[in-house]
Structure 1
Amino acid sequence: MNKDLKFVRNIGISAHIDSGKTTLTERILFYTQRIHAIHEVRGKDGVGATMDSMELERERGITIQSAATYCSWKDIDINIIDTPGHVDFTVEVERALRVLDGAILVLCSVGGVQSQSITVDRQMTRYNVPRIAFINKCDRTGANPERVVRQLREKLNLNAVMLQIPIGLESDLEGVVDLVTMKAVYFEGEQGRDIRYDEIPAALLDQAKAKREEMLDAVSMFSDELMEAMLEEGDIPEALIREAIRKGTLSLKLAPVMVGSAYKNKGIQLLLDGVEMYLPCPTDVENIALDIDNNEAEIKVSNNTADPLVALAFKLEDGRYGQLTYVRTYQGEVKKGEFITNTRTGKKVKVGRLVRMHANEMEEIEEAGSGDIIALFGVECASGDTFCGGNINWSMTSMHIPAPVISLAIKPKDNKAQDNISKALNRFCKEDPTFKSFVDHETGETIISGMGELHLDVYIERMKREYKAEVEVGAPRVAYRETITQRAEFDYTHKKQTGGSGQFGRVGGYLEPLEEGVYEFVDDIVGGSIPREFISSCDKGFSASMDKGLLTGAPITGVRCVINDGGYHTVDSSDMAFQQAAKGAFKEGYRKAGPIIMEPIMKVAVEGPSEFQGAIMGSLNQRRGVIVGTSEEGAYTVVEAELPLGEMFGYSTILRSLTQGKAEFSMEFSAYKQVPKGVAEQLIKEYEASKKN
């Protein structure tokens, strides 16, 4: 790999489901001579795409785990992470974007900006990742890149500027017109390897000139020299235009748009040129670490190889040979055989094996420097841990992890499966922070939680295949929450005399709704009515009470517990006595505080032919859905709605039968809202019945 960081690019490829991310990555690997044959997603030749290395991915034709690889194009080295499109695997996109410097946002020229494109764009904005938009599938019937650019501006508020226009569309796609060089570019020879530059076809010349003017107007905002050159009305140097595009892209105020078709091998080499010219190298990006020894003061990471190591573990995989930890180095270098420190645990760990990943293949390396994405073998750590070298004790800021919204009860079919299930669950929980598992103490069932039906379905399938663990699956459960709606006071005394030392603690105060956050404890005790050493005991008691609500047993959220009075006994008061007093006080206040049940509301986008619009809207209304908006794109309609998750189970089957299998939907978590009275009564009744059983 290049030691000069100017010649390194760390990029991600992100998009909505079925926009062609994995197909695009396959072409990039082919043109950079990383692979020598192209295989398709859902490979008809029985091979499947390089980056979909998991058997399940090849069968379903979807990406489940983000995969890393690297390649070289002209003078630059590119580290690539291909990410999933399904919102159920959103954490894979989240952690990839956390460590990448730039990204390619892939859009389907027929589907345009779809629901998951919006989510991915929001994630890019969260981590300040500059992006190039690539409008793929220009060979498909109904392709309309102009409309996609309009949607980029309207739906994503991006300053989208076309750097290319297609020569022909749908089955007539021949190549692209490059508006910077004003040349027509054709991709000929075996699998589009040979690039031919030619004059722009006469039929497209006027359109190309108009689009070039539009492009120059937009990019000249980032370069005074370019603006002057335009006013002089002479020939504008190509380098000046490219420099302005790069400046605008890096400032996140411009999104260059390129077009093509990955499947038909058109436009990919120009996209690689765009990655080289417009996306940032590691030194163009400012990364901030927190100095743990200095009150978590913010420190700019230097990117200098000579400085002490700072690296972030962003993804874990448990393989046959132990834990594989994907790491992004931000400064310094890591060498095989040396010791590095995990700043979370304070432990020193030895780097046994150092590898560079190519999907599921590994290449042994001796060292890696600043800006590299590599993997360590046999190093114990958690996702999000920072490794440091030298005497520094820094931590990189962690990534945003969404909370699971759906649960299933699973049961082993036999005793042999029991051991394998626990092995599988330990591994999956470690690898995926959005997947959780626990044992329900009341029912004794093992509960798994995740981001959606597909997410849990994939993990159950992986248990069967990778661990030979056959499981029986219970009905899906929604992750309900409880909260309070009004202030309520409490004054509770916990008293227990059973011979010998007793227990005594009195806690007085009030509960009130908390606007933001899960739980807050406020100590307003004056005059020592509760001794200082027992204040933390009260906090522990209240905090433990938040785990289980009194209405449905769901976790409680959004409560501030304030204590302002109390009483103690010089002999009988203890840590345990005040914990119990706080639990009793919480119950007393909670019942008076107007408790309600909250349910997860999902943002749902259904896409299908316009003829089924009425049926789609009807099916959403029946499920307590609120239609947020509809839009028509040619013969297709997109219905956006907000629905309770509890009403979405089995919806895919119903949607298929309503639309002859022609519609599809995607959903993601939006917010928690109060359940209607009738539903709340039903949930409480079911909870009471389960307690009796």
Structure 2
Amino acid sequence: MNIPQEVARRRTFAIISHPDAGKTTLTEKLLLFAGAIQIAGSVKSRKASRHASSDWMEIEKQRGISVASSVMQMEYRDCVINLLDTPGHQDFSEDTYRVLTAVDAALMVIDAANGVEPQTIRLLQVCRARNTPIITFVNKFDREVREPLDLLAEIEQHIGMDAVPFSWPVGMGRTFRGVFDIRNDRMRVFRPGQDRLGTDDDEFVQGLDNPVLTERFDSEFAKAHDEIELLSEAAVPFDQQAFLDARQTPVFFGSAVNNFGVQEVLDTLVERAPTPGPRQAQEREVRPEEPKFTGVVFKVQANMDPAHRDRVAFVRVSSGHFQRGMRLTVSRTGKEIRPNNVVSFLSQRRDLLDDAYAGDVIGIPNHGVLHLGDVLTEGEKLQFTGLPFFAPELFQAVEVADPLRTKQLRTGLTQLGEEGAIQVFRPAVGSTLLLGAVGQLQFEVVAHRLKTEYGVEARLLHSRYTMARWLSAEDPKELKRFIDGNLANIAYDVVDAVAFLATSSAQLRVAQELYPKVQFHALREHGSQVFTG
């Protein structure tokens, strides 16, 4: 067992984008090139299903959108790649944010027709705040899109770092001829209708000044040639340390749906993306090559296998060597567990694993023992930072259509609340549960999942509340005085953290003025009652 050697083989990254930029398609093609799947839209041995490998939830297949992040592990060029696909829709930004805390790099997908879009900018802000290195893929050059030089300028403007082209498009749409690999000084020739795995039969033409390119591709290549020469004189040269420090982003162009320009991205991830780095806990810095295991739960997913009503905790390994059946301690509760049915993922396909190292994402099936933000160690008490719960901005009351299904409703909401799909509040007065969300679509997804996964027809009703704040106070008596005086507005979340639910910003402001010794928090650390804002 050589832990530093195994850590050096790991690459863990998330794919981020605005909806419909082609993120899930690119995920499929990366899996294809790595040999993890054989047909786009299916997992190996499941060729009858042609939904995206990363979209396993029934509502995702119906709507064609990703509403939950998914994890895929594969091997490529002697590296173990952990790829995390994320929801593009802004209503599921909390899930994406949590994923971004568990990765060492991000692959940003941009629609070449639309440029850098709002949701991409929000996700970039999260990456920038964490100094996460970013690789950029500009997609859809098989269509009529914007000029690559304009796109490059826009990327630099919004991303706040130098954009360094690693490849460059030759033409676009009907006149798309391929991409020129600047680093290797060769052009990969595009053939229309190329929906296959690009391998040894791909055609390459070597040399930017090769007259064959001008003869074959005429004005399209002449334009690309001039742009590449301009960039070589004007653009900042690539610097590996600047990339690792999130001051530069390598940029690639291509067409994910045609498997084109994808292999260059995968090769760069292996060659340039960082290996797992240290993780900051409240108590100390945890280094990946440490001999003892530590890991943090960054996601909990209910009902990945509806037949077994399971809950899988997604754990990012932070240090050491995980071995199936080893004794682990949950820092939050002190409870000891010995997970024997730990799995690795290829979206909904799960394989039992025997060991894992820093950077890997492992799945631990459990029944409510593990919560978001929980830290697993070999005995040391640690709390990792950076997994916040955002105060919801939308609220709805929830009732069950059939009173005989009340127990199933509460079970479903408890599990969905624990996985972070929705925030569930239990009012101090009354029995009607409240749902809190940052986006309207979250309510629709929860109602759909309650029906399909728990057999519960739920009614979502208007709520008078418009904001929530978690409460704390140095003096417990002050906190109790506030709770007793405001019971109609008090509720408890899934980890029993107390919250004040307000009907307006004016009501919140009055409460803050009347109770200056009580703190009102817009953020709470996942899995605990640690407040950060």
Structure 2 length-normalised TM: 0.82
Q: 1:135 and 1:301 mapped to 2: Cα distance?
A: 35
Give the match's secondary structure for 2:281.
strand
Q: Deviations over 1:79-125 (max 9, x none)?
A: 00000001111111111110100110111001111110011101111
Q: 1:166 aligns with which of 166, 169, 174?
A: 169
The corresponding residue for 1:397 is 385
The corresponding residue for 1:126 is 129
Give the match's secondary structure for 1:177.
strand
Q: What is the letter of the counterpart of residue 196 of structure 1?
A: E
Give the match's secondary structure for 2:131.
coil
- Aligned pairs for 1:200-219 within 5 A: 200=208, 201-202=213-214, 203=219, 204-205=221-222, 207-208=224-225, 210-212=227-229, 214-215=231-232, 218-219=235-236
| Deviates most, 166-175 or 14-23 | 166-175
The corresponding residue for 1:139 is 142
Matched, 1:60 2:63: yes
Cα 1:478–1:184, aligned 2, differ >3 Å: closer, same or farther?
A: farther
Q: 2:259 aligns with which of 260, 265, 289?
A: 265
Matched, 1:281 2:281: no
Q: 1:191 and 1:97 mapped to 2: Cα distance?
A: 31
Contact 2:281 2:383 in 1 (8 A): yes
Give the match's secondary structure for 2:282.
strand
Cα offset, 1:290, TM superposition:
2.5
Q: 2:204 aligns with which of 197, 207, 228?
A: 197
Q: Deviations over 1:219-278 (max 9, x none)?
A: 44xxxxxxxxxxxxxxxxxxxxxxx54222101110111111111221011110111122
Cα 1:131–1:439, aligned 2, differ >3 Å: closer, same or farther?
A: same
Cα 1:409–1:417, aligned 2, differ >3 Å: closer, same or farther?
A: same
The corresponding residue for 1:238 is none
Give the match's secondary structure for 2:257.
coil
The corresponding residue for 1:354 is 342
Q: Deviations over 1:167-197 (max 9, x none)?
A: 2101322310112222111256761423322
Q: What is the letter of the counterpart of residue 537 of structure 1?
A: K
Cα 1:345–1:332, aligned 2, differ >3 Å: closer, same or farther?
A: same
Matched, 1:418 2:406: yes
Q: Deviations over 1:561-591 (max 9, x none)?
A: 79xxxxxxxxxxxxxxxxxxxxxxx59x9xx
Q: 1:453 and 1:473 mapped to 2: Cα distance?
A: 12
The corresponding residue for 1:84 is 87
Q: What is the letter of the counterpart of residue 396 of structure 2?
A: L
Cα offset, 1:446, TM superposition:
3.0
Q: 2:437 and 2:403 mapped to 1: Cα distance?
A: 25
Q: What is the letter of the counterpart of residue 451 of structure 1?
A: V
Matched, 1:541 2:476: no
Q: 1:303 aligns with which of 288, 301, 309?
A: 288
Give the match's secondary structure for 1:4.
helix
Contact 1:245 1:278 in 2 (8 A): no
Cα 1:561–1:94, aligned 2, differ >3 Å: closer, same or farther?
A: closer
Cα offset, 1:363, TM superposition:
0.6
Give the match's secondary structure for 2:295.
strand
Cα 1:83–1:198, aligned 2, differ >3 Å: closer, same or farther?
A: same
Q: 1:141 and 1:214 mapped to 2: Cα distance?
A: 22
Matched, 1:451 2:438: yes
Matched, 1:472 2:459: yes
Q: What is the letter of the counterpart of residue 376 of structure 1?
A: I
Contact 1:68 1:359 in 2 (8 A): yes
If you compute each CA radius of gyration, which structure gives the higher value, 1 or 2?
1
The corresponding residue for 1:322 is 310
Q: 1:38 and 1:345 mapped to 2: Cα distance?
A: 43
Contact 2:13 2:104 in 1 (8 A): yes
Q: Deviations over 1:268-307 (max 9, x none)?
A: 111101111221111xx3422232xxxxxxx3322115x2
Cα 1:553–1:363, aligned 2, differ >3 Å: closer, same or farther?
A: closer
Q: 1:554 aligns with which of 492, 495, 503?
A: 503
Q: What is the letter of the counterpart of residue 286 of structure 2?
A: V
Q: 1:300 and 1:137 mapped to 2: Cα distance?
A: 42
Q: What is the letter of the counterpart of residue 257 of structure 2?
A: Y
Q: 2:115 and 2:320 mapped to 1: Cα distance?
A: 41
Q: RMSD in angstroms over aligned alpha carbons?
A: 3.1
Q: What is the letter of the counterpart of residue 198 of structure 2?
A: R
Q: 1:381 and 1:130 mapped to 2: Cα distance?
A: 30
- Aligned pairs for 1:94-105 within 5 A: 94-105=97-108
Matched, 1:387 2:371: no
Contact 2:331 2:382 in 1 (8 A): yes
Structure 1 length-normalised TM: 0.64
Q: What is the letter of the counterpart of residue 388 of structure 1?
A: T
Q: 1:371 aligns with which of 330, 346, 359?
A: 359
Contact 1:316 1:326 in 2 (8 A): yes
Contact 1:245 1:256 in 2 (8 A): no
Q: What is the letter of the counterpart of residue 385 of structure 1?
A: D
Q: Deviations over 1:131-179 (max 9, x none)?
A: 1011011122334333322221222323212221112101322310112
Q: 2:484 and 2:131 mapped to 1: Cα distance?
A: 38
Q: 2:399 and 2:354 mapped to 1: Cα distance?
A: 45
Q: 1:414 and 1:549 mapped to 2: Cα distance?
A: 27
Cα offset, 1:416, TM superposition:
2.8
Q: What is the letter of the counterpart of residue 107 of structure 2?
A: I
The corresponding residue for 1:255 is 249
The corresponding residue for 1:227 is none
Q: What is the letter of the counterpart of residue 470 of structure 1?
A: E
Cα 1:473–1:560, aligned 2, differ >3 Å: closer, same or farther?
A: closer
Q: What is the letter of the counterpart of residue 29 of structure 2?
A: R
Cα 1:476–1:441, aligned 2, differ >3 Å: closer, same or farther?
A: closer
Q: 2:486 and 2:340 mapped to 1: Cα distance?
A: 43
* Structure 1 unaligned regions, length at least 5: 221-243, 292-298, 482-516, 523-534, 563-585, 590-599, 601-693
- Aligned pairs for 1:487-526 within 5 A: none
Q: 2:487 and 2:113 mapped to 1: Cα distance?
A: 47
Query: Using CA pairs below 8 Å that are at least 6 residues apart, which structure has the higher relative contact order?
Result: 2
Cα offset, 1:336, TM superposition:
1.5
The corresponding residue for 1:294 is none
Contact 1:352 1:377 in 2 (8 A): no
Q: 1:438 and 1:519 mapped to 2: Cα distance?
A: 15
Cα offset, 1:342, TM superposition:
1.2
Cα offset, 1:545, TM superposition:
4.1
Q: Deviations over 1:317-355 (max 9, x none)?
A: 233253311111111112112211111112222122221
Cα 1:180–1:274, aligned 2, differ >3 Å: closer, same or farther?
A: same
The corresponding residue for 2:39 is 37
Q: 2:473 and 2:32 mapped to 1: Cα distance?
A: 58
